[in-house]
């Protein structure tokens, strides 16, 4: 009887405490507007276990109604691109309309430039937007952008 009482009382108290408070979820702020900052590609050499980085400063314009566009330094590393996107509280999927048809890789085009395309994990606080994705466990794509 004592064991039942010892287990039952804490369970009932937890149930009452859990049901008595109202939970109001924090609203998700989806990225929108113009952001600028560095785009960094991090490559891990699997033989030497050393990281190489390459970067370019880009401008990302996002609108839920018109989609997105990448401008800025698009001459070497990042391709200028545009398209649509969908987002939830953790991930954004970009669909790049400038990729040639038949391109099967997620983020690069036949030109070798990297397109903002595919699924990225993101953090956004209303000002700072960070996007991250990886490929083949040796390449990381990191955008560290700030609202303009």
In a domain, 120, yes or no: yes
Write down the pLDDT at residue 138. 85
In a domain, 9, yes or no: no
Residue pair 131/142 in contact by the 8 Å Cβ criterion:
yes
Residue pLDDT, tens place only, 82-97: 999 999 999 999 999 9
In a domain, 133, yes or no: yes
CATH number at residue 128: 2.40.128
Q: Tell me which residue of 117, 45, 128, 37 sits closest to 82, measured CA to CA.
A: 117
In a domain, 10, yes or no: no
Residue 107 belongs to what domain range?
33-147
Residue pLDDT, tens place only, 47-78: 888 999 999 999 999 999 999 999 999 998 99
d(Cα 127, Cα 31) in Å, to the nearest integer?
9
In a domain, 22, yes or no: no
d(Cα 49, Cα 135) in Å, to the nearest integer?
16
Q: Tell me which residue of 65, 68, 43, 70 sits closest to 55, measured CA to CA.
A: 43
What is this structure's pTM?
A: 0.79
Number of domains making up the chain: 1
Residue pLDDT, tens place only, 102-147: 665 556 666 788 999 889 999 999 999 999 998 877 889 999 999 9
In a domain, 18, yes or no: no
């Amino acid at each position: 009887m004592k064991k039942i009482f010892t287990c039952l009382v804490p369970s009932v108290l937890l149930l009452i405490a859990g049901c008595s408070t109202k939970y109001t979820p924090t609203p998700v702020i989806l990225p929108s507007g113009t952001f600028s900052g560095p785009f960094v590609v991090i490559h891990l050499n699997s033989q030497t276990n050393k990281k190489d980085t390459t970067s370019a400063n880009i401008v990302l314009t996002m609108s839920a109604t018109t989609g997105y566009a990448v401008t800025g330094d698009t001459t070497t590393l990042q391709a200028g691109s545009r398209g649509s996107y969908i987002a939830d509280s953790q991930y954004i999927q970009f669909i790049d309309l400038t990729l040639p048809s038949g391109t099967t890789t997620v983020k690069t085009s036949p030109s070798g430039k990297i397109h903002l395309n595919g699924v990225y994990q993101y953090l956004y606080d209303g000002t700072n937007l960070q996007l991250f994705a990886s490929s083949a466990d040796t390449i990381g794509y990191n955008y560290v952008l700030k609202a303009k």
